[in-house]
Chain A
């Protein structure tokens, strides 16, 4: 089982749609969770951290469910500029101080 698993997509949605991505992680002791955005042939950029109580940043909402070991990202009112790959990122290993990245979910927003 992969440490961090995501549905690779692609998710093809029209502008204005609401889309949700889920991600599961294997280590129940994981402490830190993030969503990164990666545009084609570019470096990943931090979209948002994910907090236990859930958090929102404009059109983006992140949720953490520790009991089920998954995190989610909800994008409301999708824009063409949201088209990218969204990476689920987790600090998975106690003692190994480095992040583990999922393979990413590709989103294509269509006009």
Chain B
């Protein structure tokens, strides 16, 4: 079955560490996105990519980095520069662009310990 897979489901990070969240899709979607959700709040856009080897910053890109070397994969690195990284991270994909709506992965809960 086609879908979008995020791993790990839960991640614990020590202060000062970089961590990478995985996002893989087999839907043949061109566009992929990363959002962050804090408790009781909406989703905020971190980065997005419309095609391989190209990506754009969203509203809260500081402290994060991404790569898009393959169509299927869009990993997100949370760097030590991100001062408040504890949140629920959601990856999504869509055909060509947002007008088609998104399919989401099941998310990664990151906690700083």
Contact B107 A43 (CB under 8 A): yes
B97 interface residue (CB < 8 Å to A): yes
Contact B106 A34 (CB under 8 A): no
Number of residues of chain B lying within 8 A (CB) of chain A: 25
Q: In the complex, what residue of chain B is closest to A87 when comparing beta carbons?
A: B42
Residues of chain A in range 22-71 having any CB-CB distance to chain B below 8 Å: 31-32, 34, 41-46, 49
Query: Which residues on B are within 8 Å of A, measured CB to CB?
Result: 31, 33, 35, 40-45, 48, 50, 56, 58, 88, 90, 97-99, 101-107
Query: Which residues on A are within 8 Å of B, measured CB to CB?
Result: 4, 8, 31-32, 34, 41-46, 49, 87, 91, 96-104
Q: What is the CB-to-nearest-CB distance from B52 to chain A, in angstroms, rounded to a whole number? A: 15
Counting residue pairs across A and B whose Cβ atoms lie within 8 Å, the total is 53
Contact B41 A97 (CB under 8 A): no
Alpha-carbon gap, A104 to B99, bound state (A): 20
Q: Can you list 20 pairs linking A and B with CB atoms under 8 Å apart?
A: A31-B99, A32-B98, A32-B99, A32-B101, A41-B88, A43-B90, A43-B105, A44-B43, A44-B102, A45-B104, A87-B42, A91-B99, A96-B56, A97-B48, A97-B97, A97-B98, A98-B33, A99-B101, A101-B42, A102-B42
Contact A100 B45 (CB under 8 A): yes
Q: Name the one of B41, B56, B102 contacting A99, with C-beta atoms under 8 angstroms.
A: B102
